[in-house]
Chains A and B, each alone.
Chain A
Amino acid sequence: EPEVTQTPSHQVTQMGQEVILRCVPISNHLYFYWYRQILGQKVEFLVSFYNNEISEKSEIFDDQFSVERPDGSNFTLKIRSTKLEDSAMYFCASSGTGDNEKLFFGSGTQLSVL
C-alpha cells in the first residue's frame, strides 16, 4: 500500500536554528498537510496546501513557519528560528481530493529543540 514518507525520523536542533522537515506524499494525492503533536497532547493542525499554495492555516502557523513543494514529489515544512516550544512530533499527511477524503499520515519527525 502506498505510504507517506517523512525524513528525518528524529531532528535535534539548537534554539534559534532553522530546520526543514521533509515529506514525500502519496504520488497521486493533491492535498498536503502538516500536523504536530506535543507529547501527551492532541494532534494539532498546522497547514494545508493545494495547487501550490496554502489553502488553510492555524494560529500556530505563524511567520516562523513556511511550506513548500519544491518539485513534484517533496513537501517541506521550514521553521525559521526554532523555539523550545516547537519541540513536538510533526506529521505530514496527504489526501486524494481533500473533500471528505481520508488523510494518510506519515510516521512523523520528532523535533527536539534544545
Chain B
Amino acid sequence: EDQVTQSPEALRLQEGESSSLNCSYTVSGLRGLFWYRQDPGKGPEFLFTLYSAGEEKEKERLKATLTKKESFLHITAPKPEDSATYLCAVQANWGYSTLTFGKGTMLLVSP
C-alpha cells in the first residue's frame, strides 16, 4: 500500500526564517511526487511535480527536491503570505493518475 508521511505536522516560522518540510514515501514504483499548497477552505493548488531522484524544482521562495525515499520542500526567507498547509502526494506506476496524499504540514509565518 502506498504511504506518505509528512513532518512536522505544524511549523511556525518568523518572517525570513528559512526551513524545510519533509515528505517520506513508500510506493510500488514512483511515477511522480507532487507538492500542493492548500489554504483554509480551499482546494489544493499545484506547486511542483518531481519524477526522479536528484530532481529539483524552484518557484519563488520554494524549492522541492527528491530522493528515492523522501522529498523536501525548502522555504527560503518566507513571508506571511506563505502561510498555508503544504501537501505532498505520490502517484504510482500501477494506477492511472490516483494521488495518495500525506496529512500535510501546516505552516504559519509570523511577521
Residues of A within 8 A of B (CB): 4, 31, 33, 35, 41-45, 48, 50, 55-56, 58, 91, 93, 95, 98-108, 110
User: Which of B32, B41, B99 has most chain A Cβ within 10 Å?
Assistant: B99
Which residue in A33, A42, A43, A91 is a CB contact (below 8 Å) of B97? A33
Tell whether, in the assembled complex, residue B102 and residue A108 are in contact, meaning their CB atoms are under 8 Å apart.
no
**B29: CB under 8 A from chain A?**
no
A41 contacts across to B, CB distance below 8 A: 103
B36 contacts across to A, CB distance below 8 A: 105
Q: Which of B16-24, B44-52, B68-76 contacts A (4 or more CB under 8 A)?
A: B44-52
Tell whether, in the assembled complex, residue B43 and residue A100 are in contact, meaning their CB atoms are under 8 Å apart.
no
**B111: CB under 8 A from chain A?**
no
Contact with A along B80-111 (1 / 0, CB 8 A): 00000001010100011111111110000000
Task: Count B interface residues, CB 8 Å.
Answer: 25
Given contacts A44-B101, A45-B98, A98-B97, contact A107 B46 (CB under 8 A): no
**B34: CB under 8 A from chain A?**
yes
- A101 and B41 CA atoms in complex are apart in Å by 24
**B31: CB under 8 A from chain A?**
yes
Which residue in B43, B91, B99, B104 is a CB contact (below 8 Å) of A108? B43
Tell whether, in the assembled complex, residue B46 and residue A56 are in contact, meaning their CB atoms are under 8 Å apart.
no
Q: Which residue of A lies closest to B87 (CB)?
A: A43
- Report B7 CB to chain A, min CB distance, Å: 14
- Report B106 CB to chain A, min CB distance, Å: 11
